[in-house]
Amino acid sequence: MKKICLLGATGSIGTSTLDVIKNNSDKFQLVAMSFGKNIEKAQKIIEDFSPKYVSVQTEELAETLKNKYPQIDVFYGNEGLNQLVQTDYNLLLNAVMGSVGLIPTMTAIELGRDIAIANKETLVVAGDFIMPAAKKAGVNLLPVDSEHSAIFQVLQGVKETDLRDITITASGGSFRDKKRSELVGVSVGDALNHPNWSMGAKITIDSATMVNKGLEVIEAHHLFQVDYDDINVIMHRESVVHSLITLKDGAMYAELGASDMRQPIQFALTYPDHIPLVNEKEFSLAKLATIHFEEVNYERFPMLALAFKVGRLGGSFPAVFNAANEVAVAAFLQEKIEFLDIEKIIEKAVGNHVEVNDLSLEKLIFIDSETRNKVENWISDKNF
Ligand SMILES: NC(=O)C1=CN([C@@H]2O[C@H](COP(=O)(O)OP(=O)(O)OC[C@H]3O[C@@H](n4cnc5c(N)ncnc54)[C@H](OP(=O)(O)O)[C@@H]3O)[C@@H](O)[C@H]2O)C=CC1
Ligand SMILES: CC(=O)[C@@H](O)[C@H](O)COP(=O)(O)O
Ligand SMILES: [Mn+2]
């Protein structure tokens, strides 16, 4: 029995993970879980899965849980996430949203726990520290993000020296058929309407700005230790080819399938085995008949170009890009700023940033928090 600690249990990835756990209850047990504020959903999960440890975002919600479930050890806040990952389990599935996932990931690595990582922001902010720490500790970092899982799946059995490059597919998100001039005044509701995937709000907005693809490029650079020159992005509106690799002789290996995050999640839990997926979605190439590929228009999607730039600059630049995006997206979701302001804010934050010398994890955490404060002030002063 593999004991699972799940960060972000009430979210989109969390829900799909719980489905995989429930459908394979002979193999997996949920022993620890975190959530933010969705107490109704969390209580249902607690009653269905009986975890021993729970972490929640606020002290007040923690008190509610302690009173209702005295048998559970309850933690709270960012420190609570870090305490949760120090409990007794075999595999951490990190599906919390945002760079709040960084410290618990590092703690789990230091404890030698394998990690299935959906929380791409952590790798973007601190991949230069996470990857060597995981290697040193002998920890498996198993990708959950669909593109990275696809690359990981097709890389199985491929010699590192045979790889030429990787290609990440991009749907283009909810506004892919709009020109930039048509993005003025678009609504939150329309932005949340992803053409292919049902996901949490933040990543769905990231998909519409293509910040998501930018984060994924940086994530891939770290996970697969591939140079930015060897990472391609291609528009693929159906999201059927989840991503691909090209070998030195020109052979391309792709992973295809339905838009169902349970497949990459389950593979991360059962790695290196592929087991049947309960209630697998129907997927027929014949019914699909045609799929499309197109070059990326970097003028239409400037955030992808900026992500390559900050990735190549390295150091603290990706952390600034990520923090500015997290705050800007939250403000857009609360209708405090317009959709196109997200780009302006990220450009300003990156443009103002001066590289920090002798970078450490602590300095990165400070830069993340400093950038958030600055961007929050710009938004409240309407100065960006
Ligand atoms: N959804 C998807 O298909 C994919 C997601 N990912 C990545 O996985 C991660 C999760 O995405 P997704 O599931 O869509 O996101 P959701 O918004 O659906 O879920 C986020 C989860 O994190 C919790 N949470 C949010 N903020 C905090 C906080 N400050 N402290 C503690 N808990 C918090 C939420 O709690 P609550 O809701 O209770 O407040 C919820 O459980 C992201 O990094 C995303 O980029 C990657 C590939 C695909
Ligand atoms: C399911 C998943 O992994 C998301 O990151 C998804 O890939 C979003 O796709 P686009 O960013 O290409 O719209
Ligand atoms: Mn993805």
CATH number for the domain harbouring residue 40? 3.40.50.720
Last residue of a domain, one of 143, 159, 178: 143
DSSP, collapsed to helix, strand or coil, labels residue 54 as strand
- Whose CA is closest to atom 35 on ligand 1? 36
The answer on 18 and 137 residing in a single domain is yes
CATH number for the domain harbouring residue 370? 1.10.1740.10
- Closest alpha carbon to 107 in 125, 80, 74, 128: 80
**ipTM of the shown complex:** 0.99
The answer on 70 and 152 residing in a single domain is no
What is the token pair recorded at 374?
Answer: 């600055």
Report how far ligand 3's centroid is from the alpha carbon of 220 (Å).
11
Backbone angles phi, psi at 186, to 5 degrees: -65, 150
The answer on 382 and 280 residing in a single domain is no
Alpha carbon 315 to chain centroid, angstroms: 20
The answer on 198 and 301 residing in a single domain is yes
The answer on 153 and 120 residing in a single domain is no
- E strands, the chain, in order: 2-7, 28-34, 53-56, 73-76, 91-94, 114-117, 141-143, 163-170, 231-235, 241-247, 252-256
- pLDDT tens string 23-80: 999 999 999 999 999 999 999 999 999 999 999 999 999 999 999 999 999 999 999 9
The answer on 209 and 67 residing in a single domain is no
Q: Which of 7, 41, 96, 239 has most ligand 1 atoms within 8 Å of CB, for mutation?
A: 96
Mean of pLDDT values over 86-90:
98
Q: Residue ranges for the binding site for NADPH? A: 10-13, 36-38, 119, 121, 200
Q: How far is residue 168's CA from residue 7's CA, in Å, rounded to a whole number? A: 26
Last residue of a domain, one of 285, 306, 327: 306
Which ligand is closest in space to the CA of residue 241? Answer: 2
Report the atom number in ligand 1 closest to the C-alpha of 10. Answer: 41
Taking every pair of Cα atoms in the chain, the longest distance, rounded to a whole number of angstroms, is: 63
Last residue of a domain, one of 272, 306, 340: 306
Q: How far is residue 60's CA from residue 14's CA, in Å, rounded to a whole number? A: 22
Residues 111/90, Cβ–Cβ less than 8 Å: no
- Confidence class of residue 235 from pLDDT cuts 50, 70 and 90? very high
- Confidence class of residue 83 from pLDDT cuts 50, 70 and 90? very high
What is the token pair recorded at 57?
Answer: 């975002």
The answer on 103 and 87 residing in a single domain is yes
Give the C-alpha distances (Å, rounded to integers) separating 180 from 183, 186, 266, 297: 5, 11, 38, 11
The answer on 187 and 64 residing in a single domain is no
The answer on 366 and 292 residing in a single domain is no
- Confidence class of residue 381 from pLDDT cuts 50, 70 and 90? very high
Q: Can you give the residue range of the structural domain that contains 82?
A: 2-143
Report the atom number in ligand 2 closest to the C-alpha of 212. Answer: 11
Which ligand is closest in space to the CA of residue 169? Answer: 2
Q: Counting runs of H as helices and runs of E as strands, what totals does the chain give?
A: 16, 11
Residue partners of 204: CB distance under 8 A and separation at least 6: 173, 174, 191, 192, 194, 197
The answer on 165 and 69 residing in a single domain is no
Residues near ligand 2 with C-beta < 6 Å?
A: 145-147, 170-171, 173, 197, 203, 207, 212-213, 261
Look at strands 241-247 and 163-170 and give their pairing.
antiparallel
pLDDT computed for residue 139 by the predictor: 98
Does ligand 1 have an atom closer than 6 angstroms to the CB of 89? no
Q: How far is residue 321's CA from residue 319's CA, in Å, rounded to a whole number? A: 5
- Whose CA is closest to atom 33 on ligand 1? 36
Question: How many Cβ atoms sit within 10 Å of the Cβ of residue 226?
Answer: 17
The answer on 114 and 164 residing in a single domain is no
The answer on 168 and 287 residing in a single domain is yes
Does ligand 1 have an atom closer than 6 angstroms to the CB of 96? yes
Mean of pLDDT values over 316-324:
98
Domain count across the chain = 3
